[in-house]
Amino acid sequence: MEKVVLAYSGGLDTSVAVRWISDNYSMDVITLTADLGQAGDMEATKRRALAVGAVDARTVDAKQMFVDHFVWPSLQASAKYEDAYYLATALGRPLISWLLVDLARETGAKAVAHGSTGKGNDQVRFDVSINTLEPSLRIIAPMREWNMNRDQEIDYAKKHDIAIPITPERPYSTDANLWGRSVEAGVLEDAWVEPPEDVYEWTSNPATAPKDPEYIEVEFEQGIPISIDSQLLDGVPLIQQLHEAGCRHGIGRSDHVENRLIGIKSREIYEMPAAEILHTAHYALETITLTREQMRFKKLVSAEYARMVYDGLWFSGLHRELAAYLEINQKNVTGTVRIKLWKGTCTAVGRKSPESLYQTELATYGADDTFDHNAALGFIKLHGLSQQTQARTQIAAGRELPRISRPGKGDSVQ
């Protein structure tokens, strides 16, 4: 029989997919579970895959690869989709796609499969990445094809004795890795309903988090974190340590209605403790190591980079070009930031760098001030010259002068 490699998480969708593919395509299913730091017992996941009908089950420890080649570049890019989502799932999909293609080549499989729905972003990320890496592979997406809703899927699992960690009372769809956790479906589909506390599996409720703040110092080298409190750490343990601290203090929760690539809006709950801490620290360091012009342009690049990742275009020329810019942009983003964690808030309260553009003698209002105050007069004259020239020749010449009225009095600001 022909073989298919299925991206397997051990959850409802992919567990049902093993049986469904076997029944409907008469193919041998090989499962691939990539450990991106989502927790859970990989060996237990492997046994579950075999129990539901896979002929072979593979696991890959891809945490270090995920951090080095996906997470750190996104941190350097300050990538945050719609200013709410640090792209944890979106960053994992191209890596899983690469691993799927690699295993398909190794085993001689003619197809690969994933558990994405027909109305989500992940189907695009998987399909586009796989078609880019190996166009000859057939892609099977059971959830796009079987026309079962969530309740019917649960019934299907029960009918075929497929053990799943989901009930009709708690029908959430989740995904997690080192960089974050996402939750959707169930009661969350009502955008007016406050998320129940059981949605959050990682982070403490900020209301019941420790009453005393915790301070952490994060050191960066060229935009990449390398130590916590002066202890040098590799990427994976560094993120894990910050994850634990963030969870204690309820850091990184987000309730966001986002614009999906396929044209619908979707409500997502995110838990991103380590990502929130590191992005906060990274930005604070950029404020003293990048110029005003660099930060302005970096903001545009960050938005484009986040959109590119979210839209599943990791293996594109655009990504390569943005990465080349960021490598130069982050060259001087080196230094240490002190972060305060307290009751759901993450605040930079100190920053220092050998590359700092913040000069005390220029910023101070004290006796050590070296700033040339007289130079400001000439600067102001030149800065306002264009506006003043336009006012004389176009706005004031036979036209009504700009006026400002108080809001609510009938006139708008012109």
Point out the catalytic residue in the list 22, 58, 122, 266: 122
- Residue 93 catalytic? yes
Give the phi and the psi of residue 174 in degrees, each rounded to 5. -130, 155
> Which two structure tokens, joined as six digits, stand for 342?
């307290």
DSSP string covering 61-116? E-HHHHIIIIIHHHHHTT--BTTTB--HHHHHHHHHHHHHHHHHHHHT-SEEE---
- Residue 102 catalytic? no
> Which two structure tokens, joined as six digits, stand for 250?
């309820």
Q: C-alpha 338: how far from its chain's center?
A: 23
- Residue 227 catalytic? no
Point out the catalytic residue in the list 9, 22, 173, 266: 173
- Residue 399 catalytic? no
10 Å CB burial of residue 174 (0-12, 13-18, 19+) is buried
DSSP string covering 304-334? HHHHHHHTT-TTSHHHHHHHHHHHHHTTT--
End-to-end CA distance of the chain: 73
> Which two structure tokens, joined as six digits, stand for 204?
């403490």
Q: Return the half-sphere exposure (C-beta side, CA atoms, 13 A cut-off) of residue 413.
A: 2
Length of the chain as a residue count: 414
Point out the catalytic residue in the list 93, 125, 181, 351: 93
Give the three-state DSSP class for 258. Answer: strand
Dist CA 285 CA 180 (whole Å): 22
10 Å CB burial of residue 248 (0-12, 13-18, 19+) is middle
Dist CA 294 CA 324 (whole Å): 15
DSSP lists the bridge partners of residue 6 as 31, 113
| Cβ count within 10 A of residue 244 | 12
> Are 180 and 220 contacting, i.e. CB atoms less than 8 angstroms apart?
no
Give the H or E element holding residue 34: strand 28-35
Rounded alpha-carbon distances, angstroms, from residue 367 to 142, 362, 364? 72, 11, 8
Catalytic center residues: 13, 93, 122, 173
